[in-house]
Structure 1
Amino acid sequence: MKYLVMVQGSQADYEALKGQGSAQSPAWTEQDVQAMYAFMTAINDDLAETGEFVDGQGLAEPAKTRHVSLDADGKPVITDGPYGETKELLAGYWVLDCASLERVTEIAARVARCPQPAGAPEYPVVIRPIQDGAGDI
């Protein structure tokens, strides 16, 4: 079965990754960033080797986000980010093809152990099964 495994973050976290800490997220050093990337690369390599890796991407910071909705006349209304009302957003994801929920949970637990500086916010790793068809709703 395929699963979407998601990691969360905030605009403050993206700023912290660039060395600009705040009360919400301490500044990361270059060594912190490199340790995080090495950790994620190792996970991706292991998942590719087992055949469970379908896709995985880190996403651009919330400041580069765009929301598109429709007004009363059906015309697009475009709002660029970041959005003050949103604290946590999708920061990255994997699409995995795993034999069981237990297996993807093991992987999510490994992702949750990603190194980060002391005091950095900890977010849960979210697992969502991907529907195979309309009958799975």
Structure 2
Amino acid sequence: MKYLVMVQGTQADYEAMSGKGSPESPAWNAQQLEAMYAYMAAINDDLSETGELVDGQGLAEPARARTVTLGDDGKAVITDGPYSETKELMAGYWVLECASLERVTEIADRVTRCPQPDGAPNYPVVIRPIMDGAGDLC
């Protein structure tokens, strides 16, 4: 079965990782950032070795996002970057092929334990089964 495993974050979190803390997210130092990247790389390496990793990527900060919606006139309405009231957005993902929901849940639990500075927000790791083109689960 294939699953999409998503981690979340906010623009403030991305800024904190570049050293600009806020009341919502304390500034990260170079060692904390390096520890986070090493932790995630170890997860990716382990998933590659088990053959469960299909794809996985971190995403650019929300300020670099573009939203396209359908306007009342039937034309596209394009907005760059998040609105100030935007909350958590997907910060990264893995597409995994795992034998069971229990296995992918174990992996998500490991992701939640990623090192971060004290006081940094904790977000849930979201697991979604992937459906094939016929509407069946992969």
- The TM-score, its normalising length taken from structure 2, stands at 0.95
Q: CA deviation at 1:8?
A: 0.3
Identify unmatched segments of 5+ residues in structure 1: none
The corresponding residue for 1:65 is 65
**C-alpha distance in 1 between matches for 2:83 and 2:6:** 20
Letter in 2 for 1:16: A
**C-alpha distance in 1 between matches for 2:135 and 2:28:** 45
**C-alpha distance in 2 between matches for 1:135 and 1:76:** 28
Identify unmatched segments of 5+ residues in structure 2: none
Q: How many percent of aligned residue pairs carry the same amino acid?
A: 77
Letter in 2 for 1:97: E
The corresponding residue for 2:9 is 9
Letter in 2 for 1:2: K
Q: How many pairs were matched up? A: 137
**C-alpha distance in 2 between matches for 1:13 and 1:135:** 35
- The Cα offsets for residues 4-61 of structure 1, whole Å up to 9 and x where unpaired, read as 0000000000000000000000000000000000000000000000000000000000
Letter in 2 for 1:55: D
The corresponding residue for 1:123 is 123
Considering only aligned residues, what root-mean-square deviation do their CA atoms show, in Å?
1.1
Q: CA deviation at 1:107?
A: 0.3
Q: CA deviation at 1:70?
A: 1.9
